[in-house]
Amino acid sequence: MISQWKDKFNAESDSRKMLDDNLRVLARRVSELELEAQDKADKIAQGDKMRMELQYRLGQVNEKQQKIRDEIEDETRLQMLEKERELRKVRDLMAEAESKHREEVEKMKVAKQQDLEIIEEKIRQAMAKKTSIIEGLVEESRLKEVQIEKLRNMLDKQRRELLTK
């Protein structure tokens, strides 16, 4: 009978050691998963910060582009006004050269329009590039959130399994 108790005690002791080892391994794994989750959260926060910084920079670029656009428009408007004044003087002084001057003014308008179209195209390209970058960052942030949610679900499942055992 003592040997049975001794065997039973040894079996329970071995079982307890095995359970303690399993518990240590699981606790270590939970700790590692918590560190990974924190690391992912830090990376998401860093991604959000980078996205906000890029949005801020994009805002600055937009402001600069608008300022340049306004300056170019003002400059062009002033140039056009100056050309119109010159044209009136030329008409008053040289009536016979009227048709020649009209052709020159028309050429200048076409050249200015082409310049404006080139500038607008460059602005559109820059805006498209910045929009693409922002969309990529937003998608990356969304994917990271999905990964975090999966890790949380996995951690919750493991906790439930540990609690049910």
Distances (CA, A) of 56 to 51, 53, 62, 122, 145: 8, 5, 10, 20, 22
Q: Quote the CA–CA distance of 8 and 73 in Å, as a whole number.
A: 95
Q: Which amino acid is at 123?
A: I
What is the mean pLDDT of the segment spanning 36-47? 91
Q: Quote the CA–CA distance of 106 and 75 in Å, as a whole number.
A: 18
Task: Indicate if the pLDDT at residue 163 is higher than 90.
Answer: no
Helix/strand number for the chain, H first, E second: 2, 0
**Which pLDDT tens digit goes with each residue over 132-146?**
999 999 999 999 999
**Which pLDDT tens digit goes with each residue over 56-83?**
999 999 999 999 999 999 999 999 999 9
Residue burial 28-53, b: 16+ Cβ < 10 Å; e: rest: eeeeebeeebeebeeebeebeeebee
Domain ranges for the chain: 2-164
What is the mean pLDDT of the segment spanning 86-98? 75
